[in-house]
Amino acid sequence: MLAMDLLSPYLLHLTIFIFSSILWFIFIFIYKQKPTQPNNLPPGKKGWPILGETLEFSMAGKRGEPEKFINERSKKYMLDVFKTSLLGQDVIVFCGDTGNKFFLSSANKYLKLWFPHSLAKAMSNTGTNAVDFGEVAKKLGRMIPEFLRTNALHQYVPIMDSMARKHLETNWSPYKQVKALPSIKKLTLALACRLFFRVEEPEDLIGIEEPFTELVEGMLSIPINFPGTPYRRALKASKIIHENLFSIIKKRKLELFEGKDASSPDVLTRILLMADENGKAMFRDEEISTCLVALLFVSHDTITSAITSILKYLGENPHVYNKVLKEQMEIANSKRPEEVLNLDDIQRMKYSWCVACESMRLAPPAQGNFREAIADFTYQGFTIPKGWKAYWTVHSTHKNPKYFKDPEKFDPSRFEGDGPAPYTFIPFGAGPHMCQGKEYARLGILTFMHNVVTRFKWQNMIPDEKSVCTVATIPVNGLPIQIQPHNN
């Protein structure tokens, strides 16, 4: 009682402070004078002050039905465009094949790259000097194609194959049961580290693996930087990752100073050697570290999601698994026992890629992308104001019966022949906005499919396991499977 009596005045002050803060936010976000907006905006609603419809959008993904948020609104307005509010921003959502085509092929003069502030802050939380994530992403976008050309990809395939073999031998072969998702995460992170900045030693990955999972899980959560929240954990994880990357950068700089590995084609070495006309380094260490985090994110999480979904659907469809096995065994039998895969082998995996595409149609590894309007423009008679954000999403077409008959059915034959209509299947975007890493992802997916199918058969331990959609689509229980080597 004495303690309560002593605390009572402070509790009253705290209550008054919280109530005053709420009133202040209401004033700022609701009653503060805003610029006049056009009367002919697309239809839609913005939802709650500040939050908008972010919670509805997020909860639809966590229920495993992210397409519901999009479909309910596009059906209500009978249009391929509507307005909403997400992540504290006014957003125009483009839907259907016509919306996808406009956004992904003809909107460059109207739209520019944009990242949610919460994501940019989490990715660039170096703990030292501030980093403009948007500018770093632009520089990275101009540089990365060099590492995704055919000659570079040709070098990647044997490494991907060898690492997949070693991973399965170490992490699958000794066991009868495996939880696929965390196992695949471990492999794809190690693969990205090996190919993009030549980190091969396990001890160099220890400081990255666990915090990277925390970063991915929290960086697109509601951006409340308060102890115990996913976003606070993401910020802390990002700082730890950057600290480990600074050590790697320092070590590589020393190697280059000593004349070692200057000709290495990996991304880190290339960035360190880039200089302006005065010979000054083009990137600060904080920017380099942010580049590496962004690369890990785009090359790790999407491939992890895709491979895990492929394993799930193959486990649920034995007849499809048998066709994949037949195709992959023909390739395996054409090679010597220890001979690694090459690019020509990948080109022969046609049915396997159909299976991968159908898996990505039903469980897209990436959900969409944001842009920002750089000037007012008109779309389908509506005005999109400068500064508003634009969003395209796979969820308006991938499970839409208008584009895919019986859309919930797993049917790889959809991708045989000419395949789906343009701008309806877009897990990697399309047109000028096609993901630059699509071919890298294809190689990583197919090399793993080859190794896992030719070595194991498996059974899903949770039939029809539910998948959830946050940053990517993942099975809610991590896809536990029971495995059996073919030679048993």
> 438-455 and 285-316 are packed helices; what angle lies between their axes, rounded to 10 degrees?
40
Is 354 annotated among the ligand-binding residues? no
Q: Which residue has the tokens 């976000």?
A: 29
In this structure, are residues 166 and 323 in contact, taking their beta carbons and an 8 Å threshold? no
Q: Which of 252, 219, 188, 230 is nearest to 115 (CA)?
A: 219
DSSP alpha helices (H): ranges in 172-284?
A: 180-197, 202-218, 230-257, 267-273
- Alpha-carbon span 392 to 416, nearest angstrom: 26
Kindly tell me the burial class for residue 271, based on how many C-beta atoms sit within 10 Å of its own C-beta (0-12, 13-18, 19 or more).
Answer: buried
Rounded distance between C-alpha atoms, residue 220 and residue 232, angstroms: 11
* Structural contact between residues 192 and 180, judged by C-beta atoms closer than 8 angstroms: no
The tokens for 114 are: 């944009």
Interior CA angle at 478 toward 293 and 325, to 5°?
95
Q: CA gyration radius for the chain?
A: 24
Which residues are annotated as part of the binding site for heme? 435
Which residues are annotated as part of the binding site? 435
